[in-house]
């Protein structure tokens, strides 16, 4: 690898159900301007832009980077558009990191967004046909299989739903602010796709996230402490074939093993100070803790149940409130990467984990078949 990569600027919008006050361009620009301000850089300092969003059908704009080029100061520069299903926010950051690590560019702006209010995601997911069950209906059987397999008690899902929403109260950018949520309200909420209840599901959000990435020299010059990339990886596997295990996909295990190896991590439970993990439905927290090697197989629910993943726990997960509190789909993965970086920079405000030095950002997509991850740290690797 020719170069190290540092995250020197992070910006995000205040995520909400509808951002009626801005256009698509206004939304992505808001996040990008904040990232540039954080890095104390201007548009002219950026050499290339890497942008990601979920399927174009969600907003009805085909290859939106063409229209967004001007708003992102990309005219006369390279702009690349990534699309890897739900993991796209994460893989977009990975593609941007590659541009720096390869030595091709010194400073890259990476942006991810979704403006769900300008389209109809359920319509988009169903291809416009009746009978669409959405992501919840798709993933519910996987969750059901996990519960059956692990013997997890049903309150574990409710607990995650409460924990992440309480975490969101400390995050000024989070969409859902459910200050009265408790186990009873989750348990009493409508069953949407058994075993997933309404309050165990992610919301529909408008939002964008942006990061400025720089090479080593840029990282050293940064006005605020950077987050250094210690490892980044992507993995994909076929979505449908006999014998595939979508509950604990091998692609996720391989991706985690790859980033840990790059970061020199042998015991992730101890060596990571926090995790920002893509949990769109509450049960994915224990499922991904197993997939990431934080908990043993079929015992992820015990980790969650013990409180270890709570804000005060020894391996806090989703201190930002996670996808359960904020879900601008295309940006959701990048928010995980950015929140992990904010933590190791010590810039996470009220949601800061004390002394966080190393954190994992995680995203997944498709039929739980696309994975993107990075490990970021406060120390230069």
Partner 1 sequence: MRDVAIVSFSQLRGDPEGGVPEVLMLVPVVLEAIEKSGVPRKQIGFTCSGSCDYLTGAPFAFVQNLAATGAWPPISESHLEMDGAWALQEAWVRLQHGDIDTALVFASGRPSNSDLREVLCLQLDPYYLMPLWPDYISLAALQAQALLARTGHTEKDLAEIVVRARRAALSNPNAEISGEFTASELLQAPYVSSPLRAHDCPPISDGAAAMVLVAGDRARDLCERPAWIRGIDHRIDAQYPGVRDLSVSPSARLAGEHAGVGRGPVEVAELAAAFSHEELILREALGLGDEVLVNPSGGALCSNPMVATGLIRIGEAFRQIHEQGRERVLAHASSGPCLQQNLVCVLEAD
Partner 2 sequence: MAGSEPVSFMQQMVSLEYKLRASPVAVDFARRLCAGTITGHACPECGLVYTPPSGFCSICVVPTNTREHEVEIADRGTVTAFTIVNPIQYRGQKEREVYAVASILLDGASGTIGQQRLGDVDLDRVRMGMRVEAVWLPEEKRKDSAAMGAGLASAIHHWRPVDEPDTPLEEFAEHII
Q: How far is CA 188 from CA 42, 181, 274, 295, in A?
A: 50, 11, 30, 29
| Residue of 47, 69, 126, 298 that binds partner 2 (CB under 8 A) | 126
Nearest residue (CB) to partner 1, 74 versus 156? 74
Decide: is 215 part of the binding site for partner 1 (CB under 8 A): no
| Residue of 238, 296, 297, 307 that binds partner 1 (CB under 8 A) | 238
Enumerate residues 6+ apart whose C-beta is below 8 A from 186.
157, 158, 161, 162, 197, 199, 200
Instruction: Tell me which of partner 1, partner 2, none is bound by residue 103, counting a contact when its beta carbon lies within the kind-specific cut-off of 5 to 8 angstroms.
Output: partner 1
Nearest residue (CB) to partner 1, 123 versus 148? 123
Task: Find the shortest distance in angstroms from Cβ 27 to partner 2.
Answer: 13
Per-residue DSSP letter, 103: T
Instruction: Tell me which of partner 2, partner 1, none is bound by residue 98, counting a contact when its beta carbon lies within the kind-specific cut-off of 5 to 8 angstroms.
Output: partner 1
Instruction: Tell me which of partner 2, partner 1, none is bound by residue 344, counting a contact when its beta carbon lies within the kind-specific cut-off of 5 to 8 angstroms.
Output: none
Among 363, 365, 331, 86, residue whose Cα is nearest residue 246: 365
Decide: is 355 part of the binding site for partner 2 (CB under 8 A): no
Decide: is 149 part of the binding site for partner 2 (CB under 8 A): yes
Decide: is 142 part of the binding site for partner 2 (CB under 8 A): yes
| Residue of 123, 153, 154, 172 that binds partner 2 (CB under 8 A) | 123
Decide: is 134 part of the binding site for partner 2 (CB under 8 A): yes
Helix (H, G, I), strand (E, B) or coil at 289: helix
Q: What's the CA gap between 326 and 163, in Å, rounded?
A: 14
Among 318, 357, 4, residue whose Cα is nearest residue 166: 318
Q: What's the CA gap between 302 and 152, in Å, rounded?
A: 8
Task: Find the shortest distance in angstroms from Cβ 149 to partner 2.
Answer: 7
Decide: is 1 part of the binding site for partner 1 (CB under 8 A): yes
Decide: is 352 part of the binding site for partner 2 (CB under 8 A): no
Return the structure tokens found at 98.
Answer: 């590659």
Q: What's the CA gap between 128 and 360, in Å, rounded?
A: 36
Instruction: Tell me which of partner 2, partner 1, none is bound by residue 260, counting a contact when its beta carbon lies within the kind-specific cut-off of 5 to 8 angstroms.
Output: none
Q: Are 37 and 98 in contact (CB under 8 A)?
A: no
Residue 26 phi/psi, 5° resolution?
A: -65, -35
Positions in the binding site for partner 2 (CB under 8 A) = 20-21, 60, 120, 122-123, 126, 128-134, 137-138, 140-142, 144-145, 148-149, 190-196, 238, 240-247, 367
């Amino acid at each position: 690898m020719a170069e190290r990569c540092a995250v020197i600027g992070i910006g995000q919008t205040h995520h909400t159900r509808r951002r009626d006050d801005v256009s698509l361009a206004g939304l992505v620009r808001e996040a990008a301007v904040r990232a540039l301000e954080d890095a104390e850089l201007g548009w002219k300092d950026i050499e290339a832009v890497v942008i990601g969003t979920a399927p174009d059908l969600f907003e009805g704009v085909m290859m939106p980077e063409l229209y967004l080029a001007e708003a992102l100061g990309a005219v006369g520069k390279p702009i690349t558009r990534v699309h890897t299903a739900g993991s796209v926010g994460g893989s977009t950051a990975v593609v941007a990191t590659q541009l720096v690590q390869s030595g091709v560019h010194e400073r890259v702006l990476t942006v991810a967004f979704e403006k769900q209010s300008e389209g109809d995601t359920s319509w988009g997911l169903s291809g416009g046909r009746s009978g669409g069950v959405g992501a919840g209906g798709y993933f519910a059987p996987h969750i059901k299989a996990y519960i059956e397999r692990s013997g997890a008690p049903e309150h574990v899902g409710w607990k995650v739903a409460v924990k992440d929403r309480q975490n969101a109260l400390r995050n000024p950018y989070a969409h859902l602010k459910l200050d009265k949520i408790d186990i009873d309200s989750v348990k009493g909420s409508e069953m949407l796709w058994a075993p997933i209840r309404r309050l165990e599901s992610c919301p529909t959000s408008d939002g964008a996230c942006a990061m400025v990435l720089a090479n080593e020299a840029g990282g050293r010059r940064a006005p605020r402490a950077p987050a250094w990339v210690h490892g980044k990886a992507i993995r994909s596997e076929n979505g449908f074939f006999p014998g595939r295990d979508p509950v604990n996909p091998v692609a996720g295990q391989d991706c985690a093993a790859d980033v840990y190896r790059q970061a020199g991590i042998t015991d992730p439970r101890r060596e990571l100070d926090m995790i920002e993990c893509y949990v769109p439905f509450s049960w994915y927290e224990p499922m991904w803790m197993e997939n990431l090697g934080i908990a043993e197989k079929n015992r992820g629910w015990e980790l969650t149940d013990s409180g270890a993943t709570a804000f005060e726990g020894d391996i806090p997960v989703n201190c930002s409130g996670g996808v359960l509190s904020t879900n601008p789909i295309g940006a959701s993965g990048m928010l995980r990467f950015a929140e992990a970086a904010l933590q190791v920079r010590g810039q996470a405000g009220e949601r800061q984990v004390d002394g966080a030095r190393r954190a994992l950002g995680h995203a997944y997509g498709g039929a739980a078949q696309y994975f993107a991850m990075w490990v970021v740290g406060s120390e230069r690797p």
